[in-house]
């Protein structure tokens, strides 16, 4: 309990942490509460094509005359959904492989990490392109799964390294001596120690998944029959909105992509600062 209040104090004094939380909360509210307030069907036609921002349509309309602000909210929501699915899958696969390899060690770890290294070595964009093509049509969930199953190796590697250093700690020996099974040791004596890292890994995986989705969409491999931030950018390029200077079709999605990734990167680095006493000292000394 005492550590929790200390942590909270540190967190509240850390400007970067506060900024990042505000950014992330803003984006989430925009994507989750926004569509509820607007309530409108994102596909509804509200005006002529490519009308500039006005009181009626705050961010103007797109090439079909749909309201850009509504479309943007739904797009952000889809992107975050893809990011969350991908992040959860990547973290679960990464933590399972990482803790197993780190805890058991030996030939078992060699095999698991060998597999991980092969997946790391093959550029993930290639596997993503091939998987997307193999699927043909891609739902929001499928996009998340595709991105998740290609992005876990870094998490696995880091968790394996941390777990293998934990393995020789005394509290693990004590648990083993008192007759606890491997699974119970992993769940109650290993995972809690890497929990802060898992949270940080999730924020990074989420951010990179949102950006990956946008990249795939620009290559023509985005989610089918839905709107995401990447799909919005792809439309802007495909229908020459960029070259016609219709800035409200591509500047807002770009800003949201940047907010998501900047907010989560900042959150990650400030969490690192909070959990890592060495960085705090450095900051105090500087």
Partner 1 sequence: MRSTLGRYIVNKVVWYLAAFLVAVTLNFFLPRLIPGNPVDMIISQFMRGGGSGTGADKMYKAFVAEFGLDKPLLGQFLTYLGDLFRGYLGKSFSLFPAPVTDLIRQALPWTLSLQLPAILIGWIVGNVLGAVAAYKRGIFDKTLFVSSLAMSSVPYYAFAIILLYLFAVLIPIFPAGGGYSFGTMPSFSFAFMGDVLSHYTLPFFSLLLISIGGQAVGMRSMAIYELGSDYVNYSVGLGVRESRVLSFVFRNAMLPQISGLALSLGTLVGGALITEVVFSYPGLGTLLFNAITSNDYPLIQGVTLLIVVGVLLANFLVDIAYGYIDPRIRAARTGER
Q: Which of 257, 267, 271, 274 binds partner 1 (CB under 8 A)?
A: 257
Q: Which of 32, 218, 275, 280 binds partner 1 (CB under 8 A)?
A: 218
Which of these segments, 59-67, 71-79, 121-129, 158-166, binds partner 1 (CB under 8 A)? 121-129
**Contact call for residue 258 and partner 1 (CB under 8 A):** yes
DSSP 45: B
- The residue count of the chain comes to 286
Helices (H), the chain: 2-13, 15-38, 68-104, 106-121, 124-135, 140-151, 153-166, 170-177, 182-185, 191-218, 229-238, 251-275, 277-285
**Contact call for residue 22 and partner 1 (CB under 8 A):** no
**Contact call for residue 134 and partner 1 (CB under 8 A):** yes
Which of these segments, 7-15, 119-127, 156-164, 165-173, binds partner 1 (CB under 8 A)? 119-127
Q: By rule CB under 8 A, what count of residues binds partner 1?
A: 41
**Contact call for residue 277 and partner 1 (CB under 8 A):** no
Q: Which of 214, 231, 267, 271 binds partner 1 (CB under 8 A)?
A: 214
* Count of H-run helices and E-run strands, the chain: 13, 0
Which of these segments, 37-45, 56-64, 80-88, 122-130, binds partner 1 (CB under 8 A)? 122-130
Among positions 219-238, residues that touch partner 1 (CB under 8 A) are 219-221, 233, 236-237
DSSP code per residue over 73-134: HHHHHHHHHHHHHHHHHHHHHHHHHHHHHHHH-HHHHHHHHHHHHHHHHS-HHHHHHHHHHH
Specify which residues 66 forms β-bridges with. 45
Residue 66 dihedral angles phi and psi, to the nearest 5°:
-80, 155
Q: From CA 171, how far away is CA 281, in angstroms rounded?
A: 27
Choose between 239 and 250: whose C-beta lies nearer to partner 1. Answer: 250
Q: From CA 40, how far away is CA 46, in angstroms rounded?
A: 10
Q: Which of 8, 25, 44, 122 binds partner 1 (CB under 8 A)?
A: 122
DSSP 80: H
Q: Which of 3, 4, 121, 178 binds partner 1 (CB under 8 A)?
A: 121
Token representation of residue 69: 């602000």
Choose between 5 and 168: whose C-beta lies nearer to partner 1. Answer: 168
Token representation of residue 173: 């020996």
Least distance between partner 1 and beta carbon 167 (Å): 18
- CA-nearest of 202, 196, 201 to 277 is 196
Least distance between partner 1 and beta carbon 40 (Å): 26
**Contact call for residue 59 and partner 1 (CB under 8 A):** no
**Contact call for residue 15 and partner 1 (CB under 8 A):** no
- CA-nearest of 134, 99, 131 to 116 is 99
Q: Which of 28, 58, 127, 161 binds partner 1 (CB under 8 A)?
A: 127
**Contact call for residue 215 and partner 1 (CB under 8 A):** yes
Residues forming contacts to partner 1 in the complex (CB under 8 A) are 117-118, 121-123, 125-127, 129-131, 133-134, 136, 211, 214-215, 218-221, 233, 236-237, 242-245, 247, 250-251, 253-254, 257-258, 261-262, 265-266, 282, 286
């Amino acid at each position: 309990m005492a550590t929790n209040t200390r942590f909270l104090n540190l967190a509240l004094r850390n400007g970067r942490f506060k900024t990042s939380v505000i950014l992330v909360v803003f984006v989430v509210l925009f994507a989750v509460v926004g569509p509820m307030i607007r309530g409108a069907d994102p596909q509804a036609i509200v005006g002529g094509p490519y009308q500039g921002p006005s009181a009626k349509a705050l961010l103007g309309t797109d090439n079909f005359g749909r309201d850009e602000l509504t479309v943007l909210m739904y797009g952000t929501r889809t992107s975050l959904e893809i990011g969350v699915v991908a992040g959860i899958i990547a973290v679960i696969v990464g933590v399972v492989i990482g803790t197993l390899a780190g805890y058991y060690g030996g030939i078992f770890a060699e095999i698991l990490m060998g597999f991980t290294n092969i997946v790391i070595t093959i550029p993930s964009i290639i596997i993503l392109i091939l998987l997307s093509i193999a699927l043909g049509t891609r739902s929001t969930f499928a996009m998340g799964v595709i991105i998740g199953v290609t992005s876990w190796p870094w998490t696995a590697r880091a968790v394996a390294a941390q777990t293998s250093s934990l393995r020789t700690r005394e509290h693990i020996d004590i648990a083993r001596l008192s007759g606890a099974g491997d699974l119970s040791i992993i769940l109650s004596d290993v995972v809690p120690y890497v929990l802060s890292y898992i949270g940080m890994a999730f924020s990074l995986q989420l951010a990179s998944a949102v950006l990956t989705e946008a990249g795939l969409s620009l290559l023509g491999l985005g989610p089918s029959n839905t709107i995401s931030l990447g799909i919005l950018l792809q439309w802007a390029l495909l229908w020459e909105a960029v070259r016609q200077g219709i800035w409200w079709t591509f500047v807002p999605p770009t800003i949201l992509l940047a907010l998501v990734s900047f907010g989560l990167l900042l959150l990650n680095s400030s969490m690192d600062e909070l959990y890592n006493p060495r960085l705090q000292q450095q900051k105090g000394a500087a």
